[in-house]
Chain A
Amino acid sequence: MSLQSPVASDHQLTRLLQIGVVLEEVVEARAAKHAREADDVDAEVRAFLEDAAAESAGHRDRLEALIEDLEAETIPFEEIKTLVEEQYEAEGDFDGVLYDQLCNEETAYKFYDDLIEAIETSEASFGVDREHLLAVLTEIREEEADGVEAVTELMEGRG
């Protein structure tokens, strides 16, 4: 146990980006599953979930490009999708689906926010351009913030 910086090397940065990829894969798999299988979901919510899954896939691609620049490997989506299916215990009702999506967006936002802060306070130099790295992560974080707002509005509009 120690209080050292969590992002002091390419190895640690890669590991955190891999965790980001897995989080996006979990979001993508759960949103797609809900859009496909949840009962009592209307066309508006279904389209919203499909967009959310597509957005996560986009985020994953951008994280994977960074991981590739760091000459490391990513985690295949099929692997995470299988784990999500195996452990899945969500309720199929409407509130559960939107609430799950809100948790997805909030979790992703928090992850990128903490990661950006950790990179900004780290004095390490990385195998990827720091400005580019922070620009990509900041852009994804803003999209997650927009996602939180959108799902909140959708929930409130139906409350």
Chain B
Amino acid sequence: MNTADQYLKAIYLVQSAEDGPASTGAIADALDVSPASANEMIGKLEREGLCSHEKYQGVDLTEPGIERAREALQNYCIIERFLLEVLEVQDFRSEARQLEPVIDETVADRLDTIIEREPQCPDCFNPEADVCGLLELEADAAD
């Protein structure tokens, strides 16, 4: 997943949590980057028609932006599920975060052929816990 997709996913999750535009500060916090870096990438995404940014209000994803963000989120869910179900990694949340930049959509699609994933994915994602809500339940049950 490239950096732009990681930003789109972060904006999507912040918007879901806040039920409105995402502030630059919240986006920067979510990605652990400086507000200046976040601003630079937001400008780039805006020029590509993936989001709109109003000063003092925040960032809103456009329809194409939402579509790409949801794909990125789905890839992230696949990585988390793959780590837990196939590689049996207990710390799958933090490892998925580390690995997501190098796992492209095509690779995630192939990994998806050997995992169990619910049809409602990625709507079951829990933004606060940064994990698929269903997977969280499965992991808790396995503990």
Contacts and interface: CB of A to CB of B under 8 A. Distances in A.
A47 interface: no
A1 B87 contact: no
Given A22-B86, A83-B114, A104-B110, A3 B101 contact: yes
Interface in B94-135: 95, 97-104, 106-107, 109-111, 113-116, 130
Contacts of B66: none
Interface of B, secondary structure class, is helix
Interface residues of A, number: 34
Contacts of A1: 6, 9-10, 30-32, 97, 130
Contact of B6 (A3, A16, A18, A88): A3
Nearest to A113: B104
5 contacts: A1-B6, A16-B99, A19-B82, A84-B113, A87-B113
Interface of B: 3, 6, 9-10, 30-33, 82, 86-87, 89, 95, 97-104, 106-107, 109-111, 113-116, 130
Q: Which 6 A-B pairs have the closest CB atoms?
A: A83-B114, A2-B32, A6-B102, A107-B106, A107-B110, A118-B102
